[in-house]
Amino acid sequence: MVALPIDTAKFTGIICAVPPSPRVANRETGQLRVDRETGKTVYQVGLCLMAGTSADVVTVNVPGEPVGVQNGMPVQVRDLVATPWENEGRHGIAFRATEIKPLAAPPTSSGSAGKGAGQ
């Protein structure tokens, strides 16, 4: 199936509704799902996508742990796509992104590293 790109700039807000958790591939063994391209563990994050007077919560898969993303936090989503699926009479839409991060990232040591590099 074809992945359909979603223009996240059209949303009035994107909030973390369910914090990141590793996605389980096999419930019997507890084996975690691994991204085929990057080899990273796939995490799922519940995001509230707001547009005007409506809002929907969707589960988005992302390779690697979305560091610093917490419940209720505004987030930035990169390369969000929707892929329709059907399996044994069931169907739905799977959402995937290449990155989810806090919208207003807290200050990091990289700011002080930049000062030191210029001296």
Provide the pLDDT for residue 111. Answer: 47
- Please answer whether residues 50 and 64 qualify as being in contact, where contact means their C-beta atoms are separated by less than 8 angstroms: no
- Name which of 60, 53, 65, 56 is nearest 79 in CA terms: 60
What six digits make up the tokens of 75?
Answer: 């987030």
Backbone angles phi, psi at 32, to 5 degrees: -90, 150
pLDDT in tens, 18-67: 999 999 999 999 999 999 999 999 999 999 999 999 999 999 999 999 99
The model's pLDDT over 92-115, given as tens digits with 9 standing for 90+, comes to 999 999 999 998 755 555 444 444
Model confidence at 15: pLDDT above 90: yes
Q: What is the pLDDT of residue 2?
A: 86
- The structural domains of the chain, with segments of one domain joined by +, span 4-118
> CA separation (Å) from 17 to 23, 110, 113?
16, 28, 33
- Give the pLDDT mean for 74-85: 96
Can you name the CATH fold of 4-118? OB fold (Dihydrolipoamide Acetyltransferase, E2P) (2.40.50)
pTM above 0.85, yes or no: no
Amino acid present at 29: T
